[in-house]
Amino acid sequence: MDLIYTAAQTQFRAEVRDWLKAHIPAAPLPSFDTDVGFAAHREWEKTLAQGDFGMVTWPKEFGGRGCDLIDWLIFEEEYYRAGAPLRVNQNGIFLLGPTLMEYGTPAQKKRFISAMASGSEMWAQGWSEPGAGSDMAAIRCRADRDGDEFVINGQKIWSTRAVFADWVFCLLRTDPESSRHHGLSFILVPLDAPGVTVRPIPQLNGLPGFAEIFFDDVRVSDFNLIGEEGGGWAIAMATAGFERGLMLRSPARFQQASKRLVELYRQRQNDILDLSIEDSVVRCYMDAEAYALSTYQTASRLINNGAIGPESSCNKIFWSELDLSIHETAMSLLGAKAEIEPSSPDADQQLSNWLDGFLFAQSGPIYAGTNEIQRNIIAERMLGMPRR
Amino acid sequence: MNFTFNDDQLLFRDSVRDLLSNEVTAERIRQRWDSDSGVDSAALQSLVDLGLTAALVPEEQGGLGLNTVDFILIAEECGRAALPEPIVDSCLVATPMLVDADRALEGSDSRLGELLQAIASGDQTVLCGPSINPYINFAHSADYLLLPHGNEVHLVAIDAVQLELQTSVDLSRRLSKVSWQPRSETCIARGEMGADLWRSTLNRGALANAAQLLGLSEAMVARSVQFATDREQFGRPIGVNQAVKHLLADCAVKAEFAKPAIYRAAYTVAVAPTRADWSVSHAKASAGDAARAASRNCTQVHGAMGYTWECDLHIWMKRAWTLDREWGDAGFHKNRIHEWLLQPNALLGPQYTFGRRHLGDAVNPTIAV
Ligand SMILES: Cc1cc2nc3c(=O)[nH]c(=O)nc-3n(C[C@H](O)[C@H](O)[C@H](O)COP(=O)(O)OP(=O)(O)OC[C@H]3O[C@@H](n4cnc5c(N)ncnc54)[C@H](O)[C@@H]3O)c2cc1C
């Protein structure tokens, strides 16, 4: 155990810090769930790519730097510390990217990864359906083989940022006779293909952060099939592993938020506060640290040829509940002013950020596998409790 | 940067775990309850043979020269086994205090070096009684006690103190209130040196309990998983019910995230024990939280059985209750963190998880390393 950064790691941190300082947009970008905001965030992804900071852990040939996971953590720390824009293409870079690296053919990698890394193609995730939420194996949306093409019919829902994205990676039923997790395939679909209709769904903040996607005889080449036909479930599970395991929510995000919480608390410290606030602030800070430490531990283990174990299913519950606590505590500290919308004369950046974060935190325990499902997974796979 | 244990550390952990699971069974723990000393000498001797008492003694004094990181997994195992003997208190807390004192005095007090040799060989035992703890566990079984008088550290032979036994809710514990008179020949450190020694010792004690609390939590959850698999109601194991699953999953999440806090604290204590307040308090508060949750939820999972004397669960649960309050309770440790968070110069934010060394600045005075 050695908890001191190497000279090279320190050097890398300094490089990231300097680069971000020189390149971060002067004013915060508008929400990426608006037309203008999405375009601005896409530009930012391109800027990142030009600095080779799009996805530092990826191999050089795909626009990365071949960094290890500790460097990734350092990058993320500096990224959140600097208040850089949120990653509009997280579905692509955190979920599909690693999936393609593992399961894509060389031609598929060449076609999709670089475009993703360079910020020119934005991705949405199309797994959930009206009848297939927690029970994802109930997927019905079909992709019927026709020669070297698939013909897609059906519907997806809750697809994050599909309103503005270019592509969606789907889990589709390619074997009409199959049921449950058999006969599903992992297929990439361009959202501008004829027969695709995207219907925005406004979220709690009123913006169209996700969408329904309807497929009506949509034809895609079987080049877009990732892995084996009918083998999509295992690939999707691996993708979900990246999502819950490590990448989706880097610890720096919560450390930065809990730091802002402490600052807010210091401002209000002499006011009359809810009696639980002291405790909540301390807990939030501790938990954000714990999540960071846990990620460093996992990263170190992976670097030393270890594997992500079933205990990684604890992550998602921990960060989503932490995010809720941080924002609930901040709302308490802001008191009756917390409700002020960004468009109000009295609103300022601080109020708006907290309200926005508070609204978004409500979804954390739901997306990426609800926390109830995670608890089932922990009980059954990590603790070994009986399924039935 | 490498936040893993090495093979030697894991191997040491495994051999201690194996030994404890054979030698320290619930049945043998209950036998101790009926004895005066509360000690199982056979079990104790096998731990000495494995090198536990020698672990943190420097090699020059016949020890293994290991550090807190090497021993932290051992402390966890002692918790998992609910080991009654105060091995962790003596090896991970009192021994390093003597080592620190001997170093600070540059070996000028020969009593310390000799005592460390006797500790390494298992011939003598030392425990410490910081002012934060009202009682010393197993004081009667020690040869010497390290006791505070203001900032002074006194090394007092057991026959020079009076012990008043108290009965703990955890019958494995043997608490004593200690009465004694400070004398100049027993004083081994004073002033700033004494204050530093007590500060480090408080951190080591809290860390030692945190690690044991983690082991206790995991042991309670493991027992409850077994119980929930074996016990049937409505024609199937109670463990198939989500209400039961989720009680235990919640415990697992808490334990899982107490872990890295404990390991970071172990590292920080190994490198700079006087500057480990923040990381130790984090470890102790989160491990206590995990252990309290495990105690409550695991009793619930056991139904009425969990409320009986016969069911072994309370061996672990009562230990968890007591260790959670010793060496500073949750309030003490959260207050230390709270105080630190309010310091205008506290280094907060994602880049300071491991202090500020990486920025080439001076070592962070609060977190160290
Ligand atoms: C902000 C946001 C973004 C999202 N982005 C995407 C995306 O990009 N792509 C995509 O495909 N999907 C996305 N989703 C959908 C998400 O994956 C689903 O919402 C999630 O899987 C839950 O499904 P559901 O909403 O149908 O809830 P349901 O499955 O209907 O669950 C409702 C409630 O019942 C509980 N429940 C259900 N089954 C069980 C069980 N077996 N045991 C215990 N409790 C149970 C759930 O935990 C939950 O509390 C997103 C969701 C949100 C909120």
Q: pLDDT digits over B156-184, tens only? A: 999 999 999 999 999 999 999 999 999 99
Shortest Cα distance from A310 to chain B (angstroms)?
11
Residue B63 has pLDDT above 50, yes or no: yes
Length of chain A as a residue count:
388
CA of B266 to the centre of ligand 1 (A): 39
Give the whole-number percent of chain B exceeding pLDDT 70: 96
Model pTM score: 0.96
Q: Is B325 exposed, middle or buried (0-12, 13-18, 19+ CB in 10 A)?
A: middle
Q: Is A388 exposed, middle or buried (0-12, 13-18, 19+ CB in 10 A)?
A: exposed
Backbone angles phi, psi at A169, to 5 degrees: -100, 125
For chain A, the distance separating the N- and C-terminal CA atoms, rounded to the nearest angstrom, is 41
Domains of chain B (ranges; CATH) run 201-359 (1.20.140.10)
Task: Give CA separation, B76 vs B37, B80, B133, B213, in Å.
Answer: 24, 6, 21, 7
Q: Which uninterrupted H or E stretch holds B332?
A: helix B330-342
Contacts of A289 in chain B (CB under 8 A): 261, 282, 353
For residue B8, list chain A residues with Cβ-Cβ distance below 8 A.
none
Q: How many Å lie between the centroid of ligand 1 and the Cα of residue A45?
A: 29
**Region B180-194 average pLDDT:** 97
Tell me what pLDDT residue A76 has: 97
**What pLDDT was estimated at residue B357?**
54
The average pLDDT across B9-21 equals 98
List all residues of chain A from 2 to 31 with a beta carbon under 8 Å from chain B.
2-6, 9-10, 13
Pair of tokens at residue A327: 């924002």
Give domain limits for chain A. 7-88, 123-235, 249-382
Looking at the partner chain, which of B338, B342, B369 has a beta carbon nearest the beta carbon of A3?
B369
- From A89, A128, A324, give the residue whose CB has the most ligand 1 atoms within 8 Å, as the site to mutate: A128
The arithmetic mean of pLDDT across residues B281-298, rounded, is 98
Q: What is the pLDDT of residue B369?
A: 30
Contact criterion met (CB below 8 Å) for B301 and B317: no
What is the dotted CATH code of the domain comprising A249-382? 1.20.140.10
Is residue B366 over pLDDT 80? no
Nearest to A383 among B252, B341, B358 (CB): B252
Q: How far is B364 from chain A (nearest CA, A)?
A: 13
pLDDT tens per residue across span B305-359: 999 999 999 999 999 999 999 999 999 999 999 999 999 989 999 999 987 654 3
**Residue A372 Cβ contacting ligand 1 at under 6 Å:** yes
**Closest chain B residue to the Cα of A76, Cα to Cα:** B350
Tell me the CA–centroid distance for residue A299 and ligand 1, in Å: 28
Q: Report strand pairing: A123-126 vs A167-173.
A: parallel
Contact B228 A70 (CB under 8 A): no
Tell me which residue of A308, A268, A260 sits closest to A288, measured CA to CA: A260
**What φ, ψ does residue B365 adopt, rounded to 5°?**
-65, -20
H-helix or E-strand spanning residue A216: strand A210-221
CATH architecture of A123-235: Beta Barrel (2.40)
Q: Is the CB of A134 under 6 A from ligand 1?
A: yes
CB contact under 8 A, B369 and A317: no
Residue of B108, B67, B110, B62 lying closest to B91 (CA atoms): B67
What is residue B228's predicted lDDT score, i.e. its pLDDT?
98
Partners of A81 on chain B (C-beta within 8 Å) are: 349-351
Ordered per-residue pLDDT tens for chain A, 388 residues:
999 999 999 999 999 999 999 999 999 999 999 999 999 999 999 999 999 999 999 999 998 999 999 999 999 999 999 999 999 999 999 899 999 999 999 999 999 998 998 889 999 999 999 999 999 999 999 999 999 999 999 999 999 999 999 999 999 999 999 999 999 999 999 999 999 999 999 999 999 999 999 999 999 999 999 999 999 999 999 877 765 567 789 999 999 999 999 999 999 989 999 999 999 999 999 999 999 999 999 999 999 988 888 888 899 999 999 999 999 999 999 999 999 998 899 999 889 999 999 999 999 999 999 999 999 999 999 999 999 8
Interchain CB contact of A255 with B (< 8 Å): yes
Measured in angstroms, how far is the CA atom of residue A65 from the centroid of ligand 1? 35
SS (H, E, C) A135-187: CHHHCCCEEEEECCEEEEEEEEEEEECCCCCCEEEEEEECCCCCCCCCCEEEE
Residue having the nearest C-alpha atom to atom 16 of ligand 1: A367
Q: What's the confidence (pLDDT) of residue A238?
A: 85
What mean pLDDT is predicted for residues B224-243? 98
Residue A249's Cβ-side half-sphere holds a number of Cα atoms within 13 Å equal to 26
Closest CA to A176 of A147, A141, A127: A141
